[in-house]
A and B are shown apart, each in its own frame.
Chain A
């Protein structure tokens, strides 16, 4: 569903926008999911908060801490998701321990029952993920793989061989967070990975505005993931119309690129 949906967009020439929302950082977080879809999202990445988010910078850490302080759990997030259906694919991002703790068979089943199409597990690298990938695949849950600016081409090809959904190109050698200037690595990784895969290629980490999004698609990516730049605005208490304007601006920049 995830890969098929994004491939269709890709073939139709539409650039792909995937905003990130932290589940439960606010009681009304599902409205934020609706808002980003209405503002032009092609899929939504939903974070499940974890106590030790070692790949996340201050903004997403803060959003996760707020969610945990509200008593949000993996099961509460998934049961909220079960009550809803969305017009675009849903991708869950969290750390592996939460799924390991549930047991991978149960985790995959729960995710699928909640209508989740794909997962991003940043601390489950190629070598450690075979069991997870097999279980997920057997139930139609697509596991997104990450490639980084320092991943060798040989290793890139090994990762691409098991990639599903889309390829997540890490745009910056850093944890998640906004950047005033686009990292050189963000366009470089798009150019480097593009000829090696026919999967949708999205760049995330350090994509903060429309200009930066446009730059990476011009370098060969199919689209972007935008997390901290959106969540910072949410944490600052921006109004729905302000948030919608921000997402729409990136949408417009992608459409014009």
Chain B
């Protein structure tokens, strides 16, 4: 590491975290991907096409919006980075546009991806359609059942969706299955990982494809105020929107806060481990078997966290706190009623943190990344609040 959130060395380490723990059959592929990304990311033509696609297709830059009524309620100045307004409704599009362009540059004709709630799967299916690539998305059987609308969206976009029936049949098993299938299809297939996780170069590459969030927010904030914010806050599952946001502010005095779900807090409750190609924090039992995460937001239901977050935590550059499902439900309603924005349950974790820490934040200025919109979660929210008949989502 040359600097905090700089480029990692050839082994892909962030302090003691990260690395490249993959079977020998995958090693040549991740090594090839590392050099392809390094080359592409330093090529102005690649950068220009990535940027132009984000602008013309995905609707960037997204707005940095001063949420006045929420600010009044909290007694602080709250600026929302509106990733919910990006095409497909979340920040996931930034990463998949980058990886799809890279896949095409590497001569790959097919994308595979894992998905939990379906947001990354939908984004991957979207990018595949845009660039004329095939797409196959692996999704735990449990998630297929509880996110049926997103499954249909992916199919509508021309992607194949495979329900994963192994293990706990959720996101972590979808990652395993995507890796298994990648081994057998290296020639024509790029594995489009959806967060800042997995073997090097993924944690770094995905952060770089998401840093547009933080870079935009920083210059938008500076243009509006002539300064930098006191706090920068984002939700963390694997941690891609937080990593992208933090990257824009890590060299400012801003305090960085990642908000984890209490039921899936790999930084908060996890211990050091090596799974899914990386050394990081994971929820585990006393023997090192990986536990499932459980929160109201399927997008944060991942038992691990990106290795760079583990490092930012270890060196004290970012703070990681937790909020529970009830706080998240309150936060969704608060934002809806004060600002007319129905955000994703994932993003509501960041809002819930503001509420919990209201006293600490009084009179300060805060940039909050609103990672996605809440349309996908309306049914879950309604059930939890008792507006719909039916079983509660676990």
A54-B276, A123-B277 as given contacts; A148 in contact with B24, CB under 8 Å: yes
Q: Does A51 contact B167, Cβ atoms closer than 8 Å?
A: yes
Q: Does A147 contact B166, Cβ atoms closer than 8 Å?
A: no
User: Which residue from chain A places its CB closest to the CB of B284 in the assembled complex?
Assistant: A101
Interface residue ranges of B161-212 to A (CB < 8 Å): 166-167, 172-173, 175-176, 179-180, 183-184, 186
Inter-chain contact total with CB atoms closer than 8 Å: 110
User: Which residue from chain B places its CB closest to the CB of A98 in the assembled complex?
Assistant: B288
Q: Does A175 contact B20, Cβ atoms closer than 8 Å?
A: no
Q: Does A96 contact B21, Cβ atoms closer than 8 Å?
A: yes
Number of chain B interface residues as a range? 35 or more
Q: Does B21 contact A125, Cβ atoms closer than 8 Å?
A: yes
Interface residue ranges of B19-58 to A (CB < 8 Å): 19-25, 27-29
Q: Does B274 contact A173, Cβ atoms closer than 8 Å?
A: no
Q: Does B287 contact A75, Cβ atoms closer than 8 Å?
A: yes
Write out the residue numbers on chain B whose beta carbons fall within 8 Å of the beta carbon of A40: none
Q: Does A122 contact B23, Cβ atoms closer than 8 Å?
A: yes
Q: Does A128 contact B172, Cβ atoms closer than 8 Å?
A: no
**In the complex the two chains form, what is the Cα distance from A237 to B172 in whole Å?**
30
* B1-35 interface bits toward A, Cβ cutoff 8 Å, 1 = contact, 0 = none: 00000000001000000011111110111000000
**In the complex the two chains form, what is the Cα distance from A3 to B179 in whole Å?**
31
**In the complex the two chains form, what is the Cα distance from A38 to B276 in whole Å?**
38
Question: At the interface, yes or no: B383 with Cβ under 8 Å from chain A?
Answer: no
Q: Does B20 contact A98, Cβ atoms closer than 8 Å?
A: no
**In the complex the two chains form, what is the Cα distance from A51 to B289 in whole Å?**
5
Determine how close the nearest CB of chain B comes to the CB of A158; give it in whole angstroms: 11
A151-B28, A170-B24 as given contacts; A52 in contact with B288, CB under 8 Å: no
Stretch from A55-63, A111-119, A241-249 forming part of the interface with B? A55-63
Write out the residue numbers on chain B whose beta carbons fall within 8 Å of the beta carbon of A151: 24, 27-28
Q: Which single member of A52, A100, A126, A127 contacts B290 (CB below 8 Å)?
A: A52
**In the complex the two chains form, what is the Cα distance from A57 to B184 in whole Å?**
12
Write out the residue numbers on chain B whose beta carbons fall within 8 Å of the beta carbon of A140: none
User: Which residue from chain A places its CB closest to the CB of B289 in the assembled complex?
Assistant: A51
User: Which residue from chain A places its CB closest to the CB of B25 in the assembled complex?
Assistant: A148
**In the complex the two chains form, what is the Cα distance from A149 to B20 in whole Å?**
19
Write out the residue numbers on chain A whose beta carbons fall within 8 Å of the beta carbon of B133: none
User: Which residue from chain A places its CB closest to the CB of B184 in the assembled complex?
Assistant: A174
Question: At the interface, yes or no: B273 with Cβ under 8 Å from chain A?
Answer: yes
**In the complex the two chains form, what is the Cα distance from A102 to B21 in whole Å?**
18
Q: Does A147 contact B184, Cβ atoms closer than 8 Å?
A: no
Q: Does A146 contact B176, Cβ atoms closer than 8 Å?
A: no
* A59-78 interface bits toward B, Cβ cutoff 8 Å, 1 = contact, 0 = none: 00100010010000111000
Q: Does A54 contact B179, Cβ atoms closer than 8 Å?
A: yes
User: Which residue from chain A places its CB closest to the CB of B185 in the assembled complex?
Assistant: A173
**In the complex the two chains form, what is the Cα distance from A97 to B176 in whole Å?**
14
Question: At the interface, yes or no: B275 with Cβ under 8 Å from chain A?
Answer: yes
Ordered by A's residue number, 10 sampled pairs between the chains whose C-beta atoms are within 8 Å are A52-B167, A54-B179, A54-B180, A68-B289, A98-B288, A122-B23, A122-B24, A151-B24, A152-B28, A175-B184
- The list of the 5 closest CB pairs from A to B, nearest first, reads A101-B288, A148-B25, A51-B289, A148-B24, A146-B24
Q: Beyond A51-B290, A128-B21: 7 further Cβ-contacts under 8 Å?
A: A73-B287, A97-B273, A97-B282, A123-B274, A148-B27, A148-B28, A174-B180
- Chain B residues engaging chain A, CB cutoff 8 angstroms: 11, 19-25, 27-29, 166-167, 172-173, 175-176, 179-180, 183-184, 186, 271-277, 282, 284, 287-290
